[in-house]
Amino acid sequence: MGINLFNVDHTWTLFLDRDGVINQRIFGGYVLCTESFVFEQGVLPAIKMASQRFGRIIVVTNQQCVALGLLSEPALAQIHQDMITEVSRCGGRIDAVYSAIDLKTASPNRRKPNSAMALEAKLKFPEIDFSKAVMVGDTDSDIRFGRELGMKTVLVESKEETQETPDLSVNSLLELMNKLCA
């Protein structure tokens, strides 16, 4: 399915995974401070473009590093605030960030592919219509999260091995936005 078939306008919502989509993912580790949060190349102009196209931009991120005791919730919130501030400084916006801080093995669990973070976003922003939403991620759980909610799904390819088939695969968020705005 081509991205142009999505017919995205301001009534749509963009859901973004964080690590591997917005910032460089640390394979085998975690972003534990603002200094180790490095934006992916082209992501700041991509979010600026997305801000002009989508009605809402929501970040949904699994961050079990909090449950593991590697990072406090306030420190995670500061990393996200710094991310939002830099995105805003560059002309873009992020409307909300939802973090699942559960261990992978916890039950119940808010982590993707479970839909809890998206449902929380819909409570805050009732205009969100999952059939008019795009989920962009770099893992199978991101793609399942979007698909199970009826969203269009976009995989940002990386060295992560995936089995799920998204609606579209790209190399970066910037590539997606260039296709979408073409």
**Model-wide pTM > 0.75:** yes
Q: Which residue of the set 19, 95, 138, 167 is catalytic?
A: 19
Residue 2 confidence (pLDDT): 46
CATH for 153: 3.40.50.1000
What are the tens digits of pLDDT across the range 29-40?
999 999 999 999
Q: What is the pLDDT of residues 45-102, one digit of tens each?
A: 999 999 999 999 999 999 999 999 999 999 999 999 999 999 999 999 999 999 999 9
Task: Supply the pLDDT for residue 119.
Answer: 98
3-state helix, strand, coil in the chain (%, to 5): 35, 20, 45
Residue 108 in this model has a pLDDT that exceeds 90: no
Active site residue 9: no
How many structural domains does the chain have? Answer: 1
Out of 9, 17, 82, 102, pick the active-site residue.
17
Is residue 102 part of the annotated active site? The answer reads: no
Of 142, 178, 159, the C-alpha closest to 167 is 142
Distance (Å, whole) CA 112 – CA 36: 23
What is the span of the domain harbouring residue 74? 3-180
- pLDDT of 181 reads 80
